[in-house]
Amino acid sequence: MMNDPLANALSLIVNAELRGKTNCTITPVSNLIKKILTIMNKDNYIGKFTETETSAGIVLKVELLGAINKCGAVKPRFTVKNNEFEKFEKKFLPAKDFGFIVVSTSQGIMTHIEAKQKSLGGKLIAYFY
């Protein structure tokens, strides 16, 4: 039984990267997982991902570039103000300006850098570097 599909998807990506695989398959799929993969693709941490329909449901096939050192879901989902990001950068990222924290804001899901530029706060969802 899966309690957190996002955490399972991100750990699947990390495990496939550590084994040196070139792609991995993620199931179950949600809009949140797709949005986080889109952000990771935009920042060149993963390659393209394709969505296919199978008899078991929708499956995402993700191309891996070997660029991910670590990624994971933030538990619990901390609430953060626009001037508190540095505290969580120290907690989840290895160095300043290295990696990204994904934040759910009132204007959508974005990285912590975009949220700082727009002066938005929100809930922390995931991190990757």
User: Which pLDDT value is given to residue 97?
Assistant: 85
How do residues 92-101 score in pLDDT, each as one tens digit?
999 988 999 9
In a domain, 15, yes or no: yes
CA distance 112 to 121: 9
Q: Which residues of the chain have pLDDT under 50?
A: none
Residues 13 and 65 sit within 8 Å (Cβ to Cβ) = no
CA nearest 90: which of 67, 50, 80?
Answer: 80
In a domain, 69, yes or no: no
Structure tokens at 9: 């998807």
User: Which pLDDT value is given to residue 1?
Assistant: 52
Helix locations, the chain, DSSP H? 5-18, 31-42, 85-92, 112-117
CA nearest 74: which of 98, 91, 96?
Answer: 91
CA distance 56 to 117: 41
What is the domain range of residue 14? 5-64
| Domain closes at, from 21, 39, 64 | 64
Q: Are residues 49 and 86 in the same domain?
A: no
CA distance 29 to 19: 23
| Domain closes at, from 14, 30, 64 | 64
User: Which pLDDT value is given to residue 56?
Assistant: 83
Structure tokens at 80: 């953060």
User: What domain count does the chain have?
Assistant: 2
In a domain, 16, yes or no: yes
